[in-house]
C-alpha cells in the first residue's frame, strides 16, 4: 500500500481512531493490507472481517504477533495495537482501496485493466500480467482474488511506482461487478464469455450476461472494451460501450475480430495457433493445454495491444508460461501416467472443454480416464447440465469415467444410460474411495483428467494422483 498516516486512513474510512503504544495520528503505515492473519508481517494492516464460520476479531492477536501495526475492526479488541473502528470492515476495505487507487492514478501513469467472464478470468489475468510485467511494475490478483475481499486486497498492493493493475472481477449476484469495478473505473474492460457458471445464482443466462456487462458500464468513459466476438451475448455489449464513448476491440475466431486465431491444434505438449492482428500473422505455441485457452490468449494480446505492446512481444512472453495457474489444466504425474488436474473450478462450458482436450491429446494407444465431480451453483439447471456432461463423456469415447460424490451421481447415470457399461463408468462416494480405486486401476499410457467445482475439492485428489505417479 502507499504510505498514509493513521489520520488519513481513519478519515477515508470514516472510522474512530484508537491509538496504542507510541503511535500518533501522524504515524505513517505502508504495509500490505489483508484479512488473513497468516500473511501478516512487520508493518502490515489487518482487517478483521467477521464471517459465518470464523470471526477475524479472534485473530487480531495473531496478526499483531506477526507484525501488524494497525487493525481495522468493527468493535474494539483487547490487544495492544492501534485500531480503527468502523461499522463494516468489508466496506472499509473497499473504501481504502478506492482512495489508494485514486491517489496513485492522480499522481502517475497507472493503467487499470478489469477482466470478467463466466470462465477464463484467472487464466487471462495471468496471461496479461505476464505480458505487462516486462513493460513495467504490474500488480495482479493472487489465485482467484476476484470477490468483495480479494479484489480490494489486490488493489491495495499497488504503490506509486505501479504502472499496471490487472483486476479480476467475479460475481455472486447482480451488482457485484458494478460495485467492485466501480472502485477503480478500469481503463480497459475485458469480457471473455457468458456461460452457465453461477447461472443458478443469477436466474438464467440472460441475467448472467447483464451482470457481466456491468464491467463495461463501470469502465472509464472513453476507455476501451475488449470483447469476445465469438460469444453473441458479449458481442452485444459493443452497443453499451459505444454509448459511453468507448473504443471496442474484438477478439475471437470470427472474421470481424481485430485479434484473431487460425489453425488451432492441441497436443500433449500444449496448444498451437496462428495469431492475426492487422493482417500480420504470428505463430503462438502455448504450453497450456486446451483449445479453450486460445481465446484467453487473444483477450490478453488484445488488451496488451491497447496499452501499446506489440503482438509479437506479447506472444513471445506468453510462450514462456508453463501453466496458466495451479489446478487449471495442470500437468502432473509422468509420461507413464499423465494427470491433468483441472479441478479448481467447473462449469458446463469448462467441463466440456476439458473433456474435449483430454480426447484430443490422447494417442490411439493410450487410454482416456475422466475423474469427474459435481458442478456447483447451477440452480434448477443442475440436473440437465450434469446429464449433458455424462452424455458428452461417452460420445467422446472417454474409456473410463470415474464419478465422485453424491452430487454428481446424475452425471454417472447419464453416462450409463448413454451406453457406458461393464465398469467403463463407476460411481464412488468420496475422494478417498476414488483414490483407492484409481491407484490400482490406472496403468501405463493412461491420460487422466480430474475435474470438478472448487467446493468438491477434487483438486486435492488430483495432487495425490500426481504424486503417486510422478
Do 314 and 334 reside in the same domain of the chain?
no
* pLDDT tens-digit series, residues 207-248: 889 999 999 999 999 999 999 999 999 999 999 999 999 999
Indicate the residue among 86, 118, 145 that finishes a domain: 86
The verdict on 192 and 295 lying in the same domain is yes
Q: For position 448, which CATH number holds? A: 3.90.190.20
Task: Give the per-residue pLDDT at 36.
Answer: 94
Q: What is the mean pLDDT of residues 178-193?
A: 97
Do the Cβ atoms of 465 and 450 come closer than 8 Å?
yes
Alpha-carbon gap, residue 58 to 169, rounded angstroms: 29
How far is Cα 201 from Cα 38, in angstroms, rounded to an integer? 31
**139 and 232 fall within a common domain:** yes
The model's confidence at residue 186, banded by pLDDT at 50, 70 and 90, is very high
Size (the chain), residues = 470
> Cβ–Cβ contacts within 10 Å for residue 434, how many?
25
Tens of pLDDT, residue by residue over 33-88, are: 999 999 999 999 999 999 877 899 999 999 999 999 999 999 999 999 999 999 99
Asked if 166 and 132 count as a contact pair (C-beta separation under 8 A), the reply is: yes
What angle in degrees, to the nearest 10, is found between the helix axes of 311-318 and 121-133? 110
Residue indicated by cell numbers 468483495: 148
Q: Per-residue pLDDT averaged across 421-445, rounded? A: 91
Same domain for 190 and 252? yes
Decide if pLDDT at 324 tops 80: no
Give the containing element (helix H, strand E) for 116.
strand 111-116
Under 8 Å CB-to-CB from 123, ≥6 apart: which residues?
A: 288, 293, 296, 324, 325, 328
Q: Which three cell numbers stand for residue 402?
A: 470415474
Give the pLDDT confidence score for residue 422 in this predicted structure.
60
Residue 128 contacts residue 183 (beta carbons within 8 Å): no
Per-residue confidence (pLDDT) for residue 268, from 0 to 100: 84
> 12-26, 54-68, 93-107, 319-333: which has the minimum mean pLDDT?
319-333
More confident of the two residues 388 and 204: 388
Helix axes 6-13, 89-107, angle to 10 degrees: 120
| pTM of the entire predicted model | 0.86
Q: Is 115 contained in some domain?
A: yes
- Indicate if the pLDDT at residue 361 is higher than 80: yes
> What integer pLDDT is reported at residue 74 of this predicted model?
97
pLDDT band with cut points at 50, 70 and 90 for residue 203: low
Cα separation, 138 vs 164, whole angstroms? 5
**d(Cα 311, Cα 294) in Å, to the nearest integer?**
14
- Looking only at the bridges linking them, the beta strands covering 188-191 and 164-168 are unpaired
Q: Do 123 and 11 fall within a single domain?
A: no
Residue whose C-alpha is closest to residue 37's, from 27, 26, 28, 45: 45
* CA-to-CA dists, residue 436 to 385, 395, 430, 451, 470, angstroms: 28, 27, 10, 18, 17
* C-alpha cell, 370: 475422466
Average pLDDT over residues 362-381: 92
Parallel, antiparallel or unpaired: strands 82-85 and 16-18: antiparallel
Cell of 339: 494427470
Is there a domain that residue 356 lies in?
yes
Domain boundary residue among 318, 345, 368?
A: 318
Domain that holds residue 426: 330-468
* Number of independent structural domains in the chain: 3
How high is the pLDDT of residue 248?
98
Q: What pLDDT is attached to residue 54?
A: 86
93 in a structural domain: no
Tally of CA atoms within 13 A in the half-sphere of 30 that contains its CB: 8
pLDDT of residue 201: 56
Does 324 fall in a domain?
no
User: How far is Cα 419 from Cα 268, in angstroms, rounded to an integer?
Assistant: 28
232 with 335, same domain: the answer is no
172/140 same-domain check: yes
Amino acid at each position: 500500500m502507499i504510505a498514509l498516516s493513521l489520520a488519513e486512513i481513519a478519515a477515508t474510512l470514516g472510522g474512530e481512531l484508537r491509538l496504542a503504544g507510541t503511535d500518533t495520528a501522524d504515524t505513517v503505515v505502508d504495509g500490505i493490507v489483508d484479512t488473513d492473519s497468516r500473511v501478516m508481517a512487520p508493518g502490515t494492516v489487518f482487517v478483521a472481517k467477521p464471517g459465518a464460520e470464523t470471526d477475524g476479531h479472534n485473530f487480531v492477536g495473531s496478526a499483531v504477533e506477526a507484525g501488524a501495526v494497525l487493525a481495522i475492526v468493527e468493535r474494539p479488541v483487547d490487544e495492544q495495537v492501534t485500531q480503527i473502528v468502523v461499522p463494516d470492515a468489508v466496506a472499509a476495505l473497499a473504501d481504502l482501496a478506492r482512495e489508494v487507487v485514486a491517489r496513485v492514478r492522480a499522481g502517475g501513469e497507472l493503467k487499470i485493466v478489469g477482466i470478467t467472464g463466466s470462465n477464463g478470468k484467472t487464466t487471462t489475468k495471468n496471461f496479461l500480467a505476464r505480458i505487462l510485467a516486462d513493460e513495467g511494475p504490474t500488480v495482479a490478483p493472487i489465485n482467484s482474488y476476484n470477490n468483495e475481499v480479494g479484489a480490494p486486497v489486490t488493489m491495495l498492493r499497488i504503490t506509486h511506482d505501479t504502472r499496471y493493475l490487472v483486476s479480476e472481477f467475479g460475481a455472486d449476484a447482480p451488482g457485484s461487478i458494478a460495485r467492485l469495478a466501480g472502485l477503480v473505473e478500469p481503463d480497459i474492460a475485458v469480457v471473455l464469455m457468458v456461460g452457465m457458471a453461477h447461472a443458478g445464482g443469477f436466474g438464467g443466462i440472460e441475467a448472467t450476461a447483464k451482470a457481466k456487462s456491468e464491467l463495461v458500464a463501470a469502465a472509464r468513459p472513453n476507455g476501451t472494451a475488449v470483447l469476445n466476438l465469438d460469444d453473441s451475448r458479449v458481442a452485444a455489449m459493443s452497443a453499451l460501450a459505444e454509448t459511453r464513448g468507448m473504443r471496442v476491440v474484438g477478439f475471437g475466431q470470427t472474421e470481424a475480430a481485430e485479434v484473431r486465431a487460425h489453425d488451432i491444434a492441441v497436443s500433449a505438449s500444449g496448444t498451437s495457433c496462428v495469431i492475426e492482428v492487422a493482417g500480420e500473422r504470428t505463430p503462438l505455441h502455448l504450453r497450456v493445454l486446451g483449445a479453450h485457452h486460445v481465446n484467453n490468449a487473444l483477450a490478453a494480446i488484445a488488451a496488451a495491444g491497447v496499452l501499446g505492446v506489440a503482438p509479437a512481444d506479447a506472444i513471445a512472453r506468453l510462450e514462456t508460461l508453463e501453466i496458466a495457474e495451479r489446478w487449471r489444466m495442470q500437468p502432473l504425474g509422468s509420461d507413464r501416467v499423465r494427470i491433468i488436474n483441472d479441478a479448481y473450478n467447473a462449469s458446463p462450458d469448462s467441463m466440456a472443454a476439458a473433456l474435449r482436450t483430454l480426447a484430443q491429446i490422447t494417442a490411439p494407444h493410450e487410454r482416456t480416464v475422466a475423474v469427474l465431480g459435481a458442478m456447483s451453483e447451477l440452480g434448477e439447471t443442475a440436473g440437465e447440465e450434469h446429464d449433458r456432461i455424462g452424455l458428452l463423456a461417452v460420445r467422446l469415447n472417454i474409456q473410463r469415467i470415474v464419478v465422485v460424490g453424491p452430487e454428481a451421481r446424475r452425471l454417472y447415470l447419464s453416462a450409463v444410460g448413454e451406453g457406458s457399461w461393464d465398469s467403463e463408468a463407476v460411481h464412488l462416494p468420496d475422494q478417498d474411495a476414488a483414490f483407492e480405486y484409481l491407484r490400482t486401476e490406472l496403468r501405463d499410457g493412461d491420460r487422466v483428467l480430474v475435474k470438478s467445482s472448487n467446493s468438491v475439492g477434487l483438486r486435492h485428489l488430483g495432487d495425490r494422483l500426481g504424486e503417486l505417479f510422478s
